[in-house]
Structure formats: structure tokens, C-alpha cells
Structure 1
Amino acid sequence: MTGTRTGRYSKYIRPISILFDLLVITVLCFYFLKRLNLNPVNYLVYQTVAWVIIAFFIKFYGIYRFTTPVEITSKIIKQGILFSLVIIAFFPFSKEVLFSGKAIAYFMVSSFTLITIFKYLLFYYLKKYRIVTGSNYRNAVIIGYTPEAIRLKELFETRNDYGYRFLGYFSNKKSNANIKGKLDDLKPFVIENEVDEIYCSLNEITNEQLKDLVDFADENNTVIKFIPDTKEIFSKNLKIDYYELFPVLSLQKTTLHDPLTKVFKRIFDIVFSLIIIFGLLSWLVPLLAILIKLESRGPIFFKQGRPGIDEKEFFCYKFRSMQINKTTEREASKNDPRVTKIGRFMRKTSIDEMPQFLNVLLGDMSVVGPRPHLWSQNKAYGHRINKYMVRHYVKPGITGLAQVRGFRGEIETDEDMINRIKYDVFYIDNWSILLDIKIIVQTVINIFEGEDKAY
């Protein structure tokens, strides 16, 4: 199959986007940084190379018709932070150059405002253009008539903005009115109808048929994709490794295990915790120290061993909110007699958790993540609740998705813990910087609105 399709211009979108971004940072660089005594050639080469390398590693231009706005926003934030750090790093190595934080801030904000606007306008314009004009659609067929294949076809029909036109099923195993034909009918149909993408259910074809189909797709400039019939496994990220020339597929844990994501999240944790420690705890600690000491004897801070990442123990810090007692492995309950008056206020407003920003700074915790449980809870639920131990794949957090969805505080039934684990696992599997920010904002809102289970 040769030639191009009418209205198909997808191959030009990425180069246009890259050129626009480079043009923006180049023009605004000369406008905002011209007074910093920069060598224009050296700096421009440095800036362009930095932009391209960062974009490559975080897949900044890996945006497709099925990409979500949350993913786009996450990519923009990652690119912005890493690019800013690399640009700032340029100045200490050049003695002749003047440093101006204000000029760099104006440059970054202006550049990423324009880049963000352009990216979203292009993204939404293409979606609207497909729906209104019916152009830039991709013709698709599905091999197999499985529940997953049917769901995919329904997705094509309900999400017009994805830009797929479903042409039919092909199957040797099923026969009904919905089936377009057998596998032998597929090749002439693909050529005659200029099919762009073939979606294949792996349990519908043999290895020999699959090899033949891949060769056919290569020869006819057609994309072949596979529908996983074992959804629970293959919904995770697959990574391909080579043992010499032998390919091996393995399941990657989550995005949070990506080295670049780890560095990015750690930088965010350090910056955020330093802001809280110097901006809030610097004056809050002396004030609460007086109030805690006036009401009851004992230390200002309470520390307790908790299971952290990979179930390694760390000491979790809090403001002491209870009378000194020997039942620290028992979680607080409603109207708990151990809780002091100032402790009740601190627990209701979550102020007692604030010293954990020291844990974040030390690297034991993250600002957002699954809340660290008691060791007694780990022993009680670790082997009873499905995927409970998944929460130890990442650092525990001061706040988390389960907490902002109402599953915090006392565990009264197994259902409470099941729901908490469900949200913890969802967070780990679907992490994005935007999700972290959303959880932080919701945590602050919940503090002011009050929560029923904060006791």
C-alpha cells in the first residue's frame, strides 16, 4: 500500500511542535537574558542541547491522540523544572556571565506559558477538527471477538476525539453478524480499505499466523497492535531487555521506579519540606512546645518505628498528642482517653503530622504517598488483603490519595483497610506530579473543612 491519505498530516505535528518550542526559548532568551553578558552562540547551543536531551528522556513530545490532559500537564511540569535547573547550572561555570534570578524567572514563565498554550491549542484543535470534519481519522480493524476486543470497538465509537474509524472484526473462532470475515479475508480488506491499524487478540491466532501478519503489516505500511487478554498483568508497563540478541519482556513496577522520576520527586520533596520547615515549623515548634508541656509531662515530639520503603523500619516523628502510655501500637479511636486537649486539636487539624517533613528531608518519607502503617497493622493485614504489600514499593507519605478520599484514621472493619489499599495501589500505578499537587491541595482543603475520622 503506497501513497498518502487525504487529510493525514500527523507526521508533521511533532516537528512543528519541536520547532515552535525551540523558537520560543530562543527568542525569549535573547529578550530576557540579553543583559547577562552571555556569549550568544555558546549559550544558545547549550540551551538547545539541554532542551532536546531533557525532552528525549522524559518523552516530552510523546503525545498521541489517546494521551490524556493530565499526562500532558505532567510532561510540561517535568520539562519546566528540569530545564530550569539545567539553565541555572550554566551560570556558576561562566565567570563573565551575570546571574539574575528575576530575568531567568521571567524567561521561564514566559516560555512555558507560550509553550503550554500552543501545546493545548494544538491538542484540542486536532480533536475538534477530527470530530467536525471527519478528517485525519485512522481506519482500524480487530482480529478476534473477545470481551476485550468488543470493549475496544466501543471505545472507538464513543471517543470520536481519538480519531479512529472501526471497520470490522475478523475471526476464525467466532461466526456471527458482527464478524466481517475470516483471517484469510483480512489482507485484501486491509489493502482495499486502506486500513491504518490492525488490533490483534493474541489468543485468536497461531505463532505462524502472527509472523505472517507482522510481515504483511511491514510490507503495507500498516501498524499492528496487540490486545492483552490477560488485562490484570499486561495493563502494567512492559519493558524489553536483550540477552545478547534474545529479547525478554518484563513487567516494570511503576513510573515511580523510573530513575528520572525518582530524582524529580526527591527534588520536589526537598524543596517543599524546606519551605514548610523554615516557613512554618520554625515558629510553630516553640509555640506548640509550650502548650504541650503545660498540659502534660513528657517530650514534645513522639517518635515511633514504622515500616517504610521495602518494609525497612524508620522512625516517624509527630508532635506528642497523647499522655505517656504503653499502648503506642494501638491506633487512636474516637474519644480516646489517651489524647490530650491540645492533642485533640492537633489531630483534628493534622498539625501533629507536621514534624514528618523532617522525615521527608531525611529521605525516609515523601510528601505524598501511602501513609505509613503501624507494624501491628502490617502483621494483621499483610497476608489477608490482596496487594497490601504493594504499598511498600514506594516511600510512605505525609498525605496520600486514600486519606483525601476519606479513608484515614481508625480501621474499624476489613473493608476500611481494603479501600485504603485500593487507593494506595491506584496512586502507585498512576502517579503523576499533577496527582501529587491535587492531593496536597485537597489535604489543605480537608484540614480547613474538618474530617470526621481525624481523631
Structure 2
Amino acid sequence: MDKNTLEANIVAAPSLLADRFREFSNVAPFISFFKLFIDPILVVVSFYLIAIPFNIAMDGYGFILATLAFLLTALLLDGMFLFMPGYSRSWLGLGRFIAEWLAVVAALVLIGRISGFIDYYYPPFIITWFIASPLVLILVHIAIRVYVLRVDSGENAERSKVVVVGVNQPSQFLVKSIHDEPFLKMDFMGYFDDRAISRLPKSATPHLKGSLDMLPEYIKEHGIKKIYISLPMSSQPRVLELIDELKDSTASIYFIPDLFVFDLINARFDNVAGMPIVAICESPFMGLNGVIKRISDVVLSLFILLMIWPVLATIALAVKLTSAGPVFFKQRRYGENGDSVLVYKFRSMTVMEDGDRVVQATKNDQRLTPIGSFLRKSSLDELPQFINVLEGKMSIVGPRPHANAHNEQYRKLIKGYMIRHKVKPGITGWAQVNGFRGETDTLDKMQNRIKYDLDYLRNWSVWLDLKIIVLTVAVIFRDRNAY
């Protein structure tokens, strides 16, 4: 079979992660649209509608409150709990939704108290709005699910019969997804594999229908609509032969690349000039995610700097009065994509190391200034980095930046070390709230820190960022690793 015939008969499946949602591909952009626009608009509309029976006049303060509600809802509310497959998961999502809405409410109340504008409103009106808004969102989500997406109409909807060729980790992952996610509207009929039963996983043997030679006839007899081929690349001749045998069927054929052999970082399907490609290692902040990450960084940094400027001024004065030297310590660090950036800190030492050799701070370090130990242990020396965030050099949450000298040292010792630099460094990170804050005096400690950094890249979400920010506050008060 030539290349053109192969391309005509194989529908190139994306990565497994994307393929799970191929049958319901309109949901992802729909959810993103709800998260960024519809949900926030519904909260604002609820605000104005509830104001009518309370005879609340909408003035400039109302516009400010509505704008804050819009932004906080877009940033903090996931907006997809009712789109999750299965009622049990929906209930789990509902709990998360409520927690996220309470975070929106807490942020509004905090900002309102600090600025004083919330005092302009009748408390029963605000309370009613806080209760009514999530109810409106839930009702709209249910309506969308039932009448537009028709996720729960599985009994009446046409379902596709599916078979899988090859029993391995990717194919078992796919089959589990088909069973767990009814919105895919697929019925898994069984596996086909040429290997002896003794060589197959025990969990798959009850579903084995036969060898690959039996597949064409089985497809005709059972009306199979989709065939997923999950064979290693070394079996290419057998794959081409199989596709040739299936040419007279109308079943769609998908090839599942064995991406489990790679250490996936934000794996996704893409194309370059029409040529399909699979991203194996990519920043999670591409496209819309990058916009969300940047907006949340700017909004939170501005808010925090407005809150802490008296603290910044006090620390700056204390640094200047207790030791000779500048207030700020600027050190070159690796930024996004390995680019060099200047990171700001309050000076906590009597030295200004920024060369090819940088010695990490240790317990009872003689280089510390009189207030240096306190600044480092409390992480107050990191506060100027919110300015770095506004400059676009850092994020509030991300892998902590190491001195360039340390990067050059550890990139040779730890596999995958430089992947952490695919994103902007953070003021705090997933590794720091999991016990790997402060000195990394052994290779094992640094390896664990990198492990958590890469885990953050794989699983990033706005919710995870907020969780890390909250946990950071707790870590600062109990952690003994920073000095």
C-alpha cells in the first residue's frame, strides 16, 4: 500500500488524551466559552436583576462590583462540573463548583471590605445575590447539558460499536475511557490480538475476540463502526496489511500512537501547514491557557502589591539600616525557555553572588545579615518578585528559579531538568508546598523538587494555582527548611 492509500484509510488519531474526547469534540471549546464569558455574564446579569426588587440604584460602585465579579468568576470558577461524564463525577464536580464559588465570594468580600465600596449596599441584597448566582449557573448548565449537548440522551442516541486491535497499556486506557465516559456513545465489543492468551493481561482475556485474521469477518457480521489499532511501530508491515484487508469496510480506522513510552508534558494533537503532529513535550500555557495564566498573574499581583506596599517599604528601610549595601539583590536566573532574566529579592546576605559559582544558603550561614535569616525563613525577601510578575518575567506560581550556576550543574545530573524552564519561574511552586523548599544540599532533594515541578506542568489548572497559593501561606509558618 502506498502513502496516499494509507493516508486515505487511516484517520490520524491525536494523542490518547485528545482521542478520548474526539466523539464529543464540541464540548471543550463550549466549556471554555462558558468559563470565560457565559458564566461571568450570568453572574453580572443576576446582580442587576436582583437589584430590581431591592430597589438598588446602579451607579459607579455597582459597575465596579459587577466588573470584579465578572473577572473573579472567569478566573476562579471552573465552569464545567455538569459536563463531566457520569452522575457520580457530577456530584464530585458540584462540590468543587461550590468551593470555587465560595472563593469568588470571599475575594469579593475581602476586596469590598478593604476598599469600602461593599458598605454602600444593603446586606440582604448582597447575600441574595451570592446565593442566587450559583443556582442560576447550575440551572443554565443543566439546560445546556440536557437540551443542547444531550449528554444524558444516551439511551436514544445512536451508539458506535468499537473494537480494538492490540492489547497494551494505551489500548486498555482507551477501553477504560469508553466504559467510564458514556458521552462518548461507544460500545466496546472486544480486542483482537495475534498473541497467545498466556501473553496477554488477565483483565483483557475475557474480552478477546480472536486473532487479526478474524477481524474483517467480525466487522461485517457485527456492524462495527470504529476500529482502533494499538500496535507498536515495529509492526508496521502487519498494520499496513490489516488496513488493506479492511478496505472494503465502512468502519473508521484510528491509529493509537504509543505515547506512554514518552514522559508526556502537555501532550496534544496539532498540525503544521496541514501536516498532523503530536506534541510530546510542550508548555501547558499555550493559547487560551496562556491568556488565563497571564490575566490571573496580573490581577493577583496588582491586588497583592496594593495590599503589601507598607510592608515593602518597612522591609526596604530595615535592610538599609541593618547592613551596608543595596536594598534589592538582583540575580540572573533562567526564565521561560531558558532565557536569562533578572529576579528581584530583598537583600538578605552580605554578598551579592551572581557568577559561575553560587553557594546556597545553609543553616546559621555567616553571610546572612542581622535580619536576613528572618526574611528568608518568612519568604519576605521574595516579595519584590511580584514586580517581576507584572513585568512578565515570572508567574506567581511556577517552578522556583535557581541560580544559573545551579542550573548548569544539575542539568547534567538530572534527566529532564530543563523541562521546568518551558514556563515562567514562579514565586512559589508545587515542590515548595510539598516539602522541598529551601536548601537542596543533596542530589536526591533536587530530584524530588524537579519531580514536583514536572508534575505541576502536567496537571496545571487555575484551581491548582490557587491551592498552591493557599498552601504556601501555611508552609511559611511551619517550614524549617528555609534559612
| TM-score bracket for the superposition, by shorter chain length | 0.5 to 0.7
**Which of 289, 292, 304 is residue 264 of structure 1 equivalent to?**
292
The verdict on how the C-alpha distance between 1:59 and 1:154 changes in structure 2, with shifts beyond 3 A counting, is closer
Instruction: Please give the alpha-carbon distance, in whole angstroms, between the structure 2 residues aligned to 1:390 and 1:379.
Output: 13
Q: Name the TM-score, length of structure 1 as normaliser.
A: 0.68
Question: Offset of 1:137 from its aligned partner?
Answer: 8.2
Residues 1:316 and 2:343 are matched in the alignment? yes
Question: Offset of 1:359 from its aligned partner?
Answer: 0.6
Instruction: Please give the alpha-carbon distance, in whole angstroms, between the structure 1 residues aligned to 2:241 and 2:131.
Output: 55
Amino acid at match of 1:240: N
The residue aligned with 1:433 is: 462
Q: Name the TM-score, length of structure 2 as normaliser.
A: 0.64
Amino acid at match of 1:186: L
Instruction: Please give the alpha-carbon distance, in whole angstroms, between the structure 1 residues aligned to 2:181 and 2:80.
Output: 25
The residue aligned with 2:243 is: 210
The residue aligned with 2:331 is: 304
CA contact (8 A) 2:360 2:439 kept: yes
Residue 206 of structure 1 aligns to a residue whose secondary structure is helix
Instruction: Please give the alpha-carbon distance, in whole angstroms, between the structure 2 residues aligned to 1:440 and 1:137.
Output: 44
Instruction: Please give the alpha-carbon distance, in whole angstroms, between the structure 1 residues aligned to 2:93 and 2:263.
Output: 20
Residue 142 of structure 1 aligns to a residue whose secondary structure is strand
Amino acid at match of 1:199: Y
1:210-229 to structure 2, matched below 5 A, reads: 210=243, 213=246, 216=249, 219=250, 224-229=253-258
1:80-99 to structure 2, matched below 5 A, reads: none
Amino acid at match of 1:272: L
The residue aligned with 2:314 is: 287
CA contact (8 A) 2:269 2:276 kept: no
Instruction: Please give the alpha-carbon distance, in whole angstroms, between the structure 1 residues aligned to 2:139 and 2:482.
Output: 41
**Which of 356, 361, 371 is residue 390 of structure 2 equivalent to?**
361
The verdict on how the C-alpha distance between 1:26 and 1:315 changes in structure 2, with shifts beyond 3 A counting, is closer
1:148-159 to structure 2, matched below 5 A, reads: 148-150=170-172, 152-153=174-175, 159=180
CA contact (8 A) 1:238 1:252 kept: no
CA contact (8 A) 2:216 2:245 kept: no
* Unaligned runs of at least 5 residues, structure 1: 1-9, 38-53, 82-100
Question: Offset of 1:147 from its aligned partner?
Answer: 4.3
Residues 1:382 and 2:415 are matched in the alignment? no
Residues 1:414 and 2:443 are matched in the alignment? yes
The residue aligned with 2:136 is: 114
The residue aligned with 1:6 is: none
Question: Offset of 1:259 from its aligned partner?
Answer: 2.8
CA contact (8 A) 1:239 1:252 kept: no
1:131-210 to structure 2, matched below 5 A, reads: 140-150=162-172, 152-153=174-175, 159=180, 166-174=188-196, 178=206, 179-190=208-219, 192-193=221-222, 195=224, 197-203=226-232, 205-210=238-243
**Which of 337, 359, 362 is residue 330 of structure 1 equivalent to?**
359
Question: Offset of 1:369 from its aligned partner?
Answer: 1.0
Percent identical residues:
34
The verdict on how the C-alpha distance between 1:379 and 1:145 changes in structure 2, with shifts beyond 3 A counting, is same
Instruction: Please give the alpha-carbon distance, in whole angstroms, between the structure 1 residues aligned to 2:213 and 2:79.
Output: 38
Residues 1:392 and 2:410 are matched in the alignment? no
Amino acid at match of 1:265: K
Q: Please report the RMSD computed on the Cα atoms of aligned residues, expressed in angstroms.
A: 5.0
Amino acid at match of 1:278: L
CA contact (8 A) 1:298 1:324 kept: no
The verdict on how the C-alpha distance between 1:443 and 1:194 changes in structure 2, with shifts beyond 3 A counting, is farther
Amino acid at match of 2:294: R
Mean Cα deviation higher: 60-69 or 187-196:
60-69
Amino acid at match of 2:394: M
Instruction: Please give the alpha-carbon distance, in whole angstroms, between the structure 1 residues aligned to 2:423 and 2:93.
Output: 21
Matched residues, number: 388
